[in-house]
Amino acid sequence: MSVHVIDHPLALHMLSVLRDKRTEPQVFRQISRNLATLLIVEATKGIRSTIQMIETPLEPMQAPCLDQRLAVVPVLRAGLGMLEAALSLFPEVSVGYIGLERNHDTAEAHTYYCKLPKLENCYTLCFDPMLATGGSASQALSFLKAQGATDLAFVSVIASPEGVARLAEEHPDVEVYTTCVDRELSDKKYILPGLGDFGDRLYGTE
Ligand code: PRP
Ligand code: URA
């Protein structure tokens, strides 16, 4: 497994805005969407394309065109903050949903929803902005593999060293794309310095 950290000043600036506790949900949502755009562009670098014949207004040419179906699967609810970016970039994308919620005391994730398209032959991106213990990500990736996904990447806004290590152990075939691998997890399994609870920041809940 490789971890691809987006090394772009704009991405890092947007991450700083998300981290800032003064950032209100309206701006948080907008920046999440924009940062997701940069992450998705990077994460789809490996999607298959073929050369096809087209005609420009001046002459025929052989042009590269995408040749692989893309599927994206946001992990509810925080992953929804990244979905709009994928829909804009790839209007024909297939979308699945996995609902996972961490128990506040144990930090163990349990599944409450799963609706997935067929994923054989797809390039599949799983979205969850926070890769903390890696429990949610690992469960989500197992669901995607059970649905036929083989060409898989996981896209997060922030990762922790523990989460990265867990995915390397449990899903060594999955590439991870993120903006930053933060320092550590707190006693309550929150990412430090992190940005708090992504879902709460996105939707203004507590
Ligand atoms: C958050 C986040 C991830 C998970 C990460 O979801 O969006 O899904 O925690 O933690 P982990 O790596 O330790 O599993 P949360 O359970 O808070 O649900 P929410 O998105 O509905 O707020
Ligand atoms: N989920 C979040 O939203 N934030 C964290 O720091 C860890 C898990």
Task: Give tens-digit pLDDT for 170-204.
Answer: 999 999 999 999 999 999 999 999 999 999 999 99
Kindly state if the Cβ of 132 falls inside 6 Å of ligand 2: yes
Q: How far is the CA of 158 from the centre of ligand 1 (A)?
A: 12
Provide the residue range defining the domain that includes 40.
3-46+69-203
In a domain, residue 159? The reply is: yes
In a domain, residue 95? The reply is: yes
User: Which ligand is nearest the CA of 200, by number?
Assistant: 1
Residue 206: the pLDDT is 84
Closest of 69, 163, 201, 67 to residue 125, by C-alpha: 69
In a domain, residue 35? The reply is: yes
In a domain, residue 106? The reply is: yes
For the four alpha carbons of 183, 187, 190 and 196, in that order, the dihedral sign comes to negative
Kindly state if the Cβ of 194 falls inside 6 Å of ligand 1: no
Mean pLDDT of the chain: 97
Kindly state if the Cβ of 197 falls inside 6 Å of ligand 2: yes
User: Whole-model pTM?
Assistant: 0.96
Q: Are 27 and 17 in contact (CB under 8 A)?
A: yes
In a domain, residue 59? The reply is: no
For the domain that residue 180 is a member of, what is the CATH number?
3.40.50.2020
Give the ranges where 44-125 is alpha helix by DSSP (H): 83-89
The total domain count for the chain is 1
In a domain, residue 39? The reply is: yes
Cβ-defined contacts of 167-171 (< 8 Å, 24+):
167/1, 167/131, 167/134, 167/137, 167/138, 167/141, 168/1, 170/134, 170/138, 170/141, 171/1, 171/138, 171/141, 171/142
Residue 104: the pLDDT is 86
- Of ligand 2's listed atoms, the one at least distance from the Cα of 194 is 6
In a domain, residue 77? The reply is: yes
Question: Which of 136, 176, 187 is the pocket-test mutation for ligand 1 (most atoms within 8 Å of CB)?
Answer: 136
Q: Are 163 and 102 in contact (CB under 8 A)?
A: no
Q: Are 167 and 146 in contact (CB under 8 A)?
A: no
Task: Give tens-digit pLDDT for 78-130.
Answer: 999 999 999 999 999 999 999 999 998 999 999 999 999 999 999 999 999 99
In a domain, residue 86? The reply is: yes
Give the helix/strand (H/E) hosting 167.
helix 161-170
Q: How many CB atoms lie within 10 A of CB 30?
A: 15
Rounded to a whole number of angstroms, the distance between the first and last alpha carbons of the chain is 34
User: Which ligand is nearest the CA of 183, by number?
Assistant: 2
Q: How far is the CA of 188 from the centre of ligand 2 (A)?
A: 10
* Parallel, antiparallel or unpaired: strands 180-181 and 158-159: parallel
